[in-house]
Amino acid sequence: MRDSRQAAAGTLWAAPAIVGVALFFALPAIAVVGLAFTDWNLLGTPSWAGPRNLIDALTSDSTVRAICVTVAIGAVSVVIEISVGLALAKTLVAFPRAALAGAVLLIPWMVAPITVGVIARWVLAPSDGLIAELLGHRVDVLVDPLGAPLAVAAVVSWQATGFAVLVYAAALRTIPSELRAAAALDGAGAWNLLRRLEWPLLRPVTFFLLVTATIRGFALYDVIVPLTGGGPDGATRTVSTLIVEEAWESFEIGRAAALACVAVGVELIFVSLQWGWYRRSTR
């Protein structure tokens, strides 16, 4: 009796959030899967198309390319985020009274990606950007098929590193000092301390950062808009950018929805690989 009353009360307290997540996430998520099997241009009614859009999305060059671009930008930025983030976190915890430093490092993470993209565009603009002006000649990074995605990855890691510093520093502070002292007594230097004690203990944090970076990577769109617009010639057209183009520039809703399903599937594969790594390494 008491249990069922408790259950009812729980549902009641969570009701607004349950309604919200149902209406604005679960229903649209189901609808997207349905739309993937239709042809629709946003006007009129969707017509049944069968699995054609999904097959197209899985096999077309533009999808494969967008996934490669997304994964490459994500991989470069997550390596920078984790290595620089950990190094700076170790530096930061060496100064226990420099709380303001940690706060300042968090600023890039808080700033809007659109604004960051606009500022980065000014820094890297080919003819009238900051770097072009300092060097006295054109800078072609943003029109270079390799330079542009690297520039995007650099901007993404500039934004993300402060957050990695925050979580690594918080985790480093929870490692008992006796463990460090014991390792030092055993003759472990700074490098061995990191490799044999801290890195294993920080593994849950690293896993968390990998997963958030993956989620962020597949959602990467805002920074691209002002910085490269997906160019040059698709070199920075991430999965999310391609979906927006299919839906709101070509009005191919079925194709966009199919692509969205494929993107979520690929994202899930990456998250499960990371989960596998985490499980294996903590066993």
Partner 1 sequence: MGLVPQEHAVTAHASRRIILGATLALAIAASLAPLLLGATVALTSPQQFARTGVGVPAPWTLSNFAALFADPTTFVRPVLVTLGAGVIVAAAQTTSSVMAAYALTRFPFAGRRMFVVVLAAAYAVPPVTTVIPLYSWFVGIGLAGTFWALVVPFVLASPYAIFLLAQWMRSVPSEVVDAARVDGGSHATVLLRVVAPMVRPAIATVALVTFVSTWNSYLWPRLIAGVKLPQVQVAVASLQTQFDSNWTLVMAAATVSVVPPIIAALVLHRSLSSAIGTGVSP
Residues 102-161 interacting with partner 1 (rule: CB under 8 A) = 102-116, 118-123, 125, 128, 130, 133, 158
* Cα distance between residue 275 and residue 272, in whole Å: 5
Q: How far apart are CA 231 and CA 85, in angstroms?
A: 29
How many positions of this chain bind partner 1 (CB under 8 A)?
A: 96
Q: What is residue 38's DSSP assignment? A: E
Kindly identify the residues of this chain, within the stretch 33-52, that bind partner 1 according to CB under 8 A.
Answer: 35, 42
Q: Which two tokens stand for residue 240?
A: 């999310």
By CB under 8 A, residue 6 contacts partner 1: yes
Interacting span for partner 1 (CB under 8 A) from 23-31, 47-55, 61-69, 144-152:
23-31
Which segments of the chain does DSSP mark as H helices, in order?
2-21, 27-35, 52-59, 61-93, 99-110, 113-124, 130-135, 147-173, 177-185, 190-192, 199-201, 203-218, 224-227, 239-248, 253-282
- Are 172 and 88 in contact, with CB atoms under 8 Å apart? no
When asked if residue 249 is in the footprint of partner 1 (CB under 8 A), the reply is no
CB of 193 to partner 1, least distance (A): 14
Any idea what the Cα angle at residue 117 is, between residues 113 and 122, rounded to 5°? 150
Contact segment (CB under 8 A) with partner 1 among 48-56, 60-68, 85-93, 273-281 equals 85-93
Nearest distance from residue 280's CB to partner 1, in Å? Answer: 20
Binding mask 165-194 for partner 1 (x = CB under 8 A): -xx-xxx-xx--------------------
Binding flag, residue 236, partner 1 (CB under 8 A): no
> Which residue of 18, 55, 64, 68 would you call a contact of partner 1, by CB under 8 A?
18
> Does residue 3 bind partner 1 (CB under 8 A)?
yes
| Shortest reach from residue 69's CB to partner 1, in Å | 15
Tell me the three state secondary structure of residue 39.
strand
Question: Dihedral through CA 274, CA 276, CA 278, CA 283, nearest 10?
Answer: -170
